[in-house]
Structure 1
């Protein structure tokens, strides 16, 4: 009886994990109180063992109904094992022209899979670090928004291209 239960559990885990064959890295960090402080840089460290095959990189965000904006500005930093650093300022649409949130989900939580880099090859193997912080401002105001409400999770995902 116990061996049957173990087999069934193993089979379920195998089926769930094999359904996402593109994933090479996928991690989420929960933000306290569903709010993203402008001082909170979210950081992901990951090993790269493949410097030959191309990958797609994504920033994943979960937002709820408390998010008040139709777009999102982010500043990202990719730290390479050799010390090289690439910094980007990015803008993403979070809602359509009618104010309806983009992303997937049936409840108040929407999940957004945002392209960060497409069709790239990591130049060397080793430990990389990806950092992201919000850079939102109100129109006409140079001071950034201290607490960006409505962002519940920030994630980073790497997919192999098949």
Structure 2
């Protein structure tokens, strides 16, 4: 009984100590449609230039999503108004149709992680995410979120 209680407490402590994000925001899409002209804007105030950060972009789709991937544009704007726009591919399913990300019921969650990022200028950073496929809208996309962690 003592071992069971010890392991129960240990499991509770380990699972309750999950890392809290420095910043977290999620945007849901109406009718589960990500339209081509729809942009998700994340404004992150970063004052600590001594830390290293990890940025995690999370896209949640349903299991009815028609494609094995999606393309997106990530625009970063610094406090000095410098902008960089980059395309990224987010793989959602393997060639055999199995899901790459975490799936639970009818929801599939996929992530892009950018670790080890050093911020040299303090202030507000603006990250804009847009879908970059040729379709006017992507169906069965639930939401997109950005989490920032101090490493």
* Fold-level similarity (TM above 0.5): yes
* Structure 2 counterpart of 1:50: 48
Give the unaligned 5+ runs of structure 1: 1-14, 137-143
Question: Among 144, 147, 153, which residue is 2:137 paired with?
Answer: 147
Which 4+ runs in 1 deviate beyond 4 A? none
* Structure 2 counterpart of 1:38: 36
**What SS is found at the alignment partner of 1:33?**
helix
* TM-score between the two structures when normalised by the length of structure 1: 0.79
Q: CA RMSD in A?
A: 1.5
The answer to whether the aligner puts 1:82 opposite 2:80 as a matched pair is yes
* Structure 1 residue 100: Cα displacement: 1.6
Query: Which structure is higher in strand share?
Result: 2
Q: Distance in 2 between matches of 1:101 and 1:21?
A: 25
Question: Equivalences for 1:124-135 in 2 at 5 Å?
Answer: 124-135=121-132
Q: Deviations over 1:14-61 (max 9, x none)?
A: x9xx73335111111101111100000111111112111111111111
Comparing 61-70 and 101-110, the one that deviates more: 101-110
Q: Contact 2:90/2:111 (CA < 8 Å) preserved in 1?
A: no
Question: Equivalences for 1:1-162 in 2 at 5 Å?
Answer: 19-115=17-113, 117-136=114-133, 144-161=134-151
* Structure 1 residue 71: Cα displacement: 1.0
* TM-score between the two structures when normalised by the length of structure 2: 0.85
Pairs aligned (count): 137
Q: Contact 2:90/2:110 (CA < 8 Å) preserved in 1?
A: no
Q: Distance in 2 between matches of 1:21 and 1:58?
A: 13
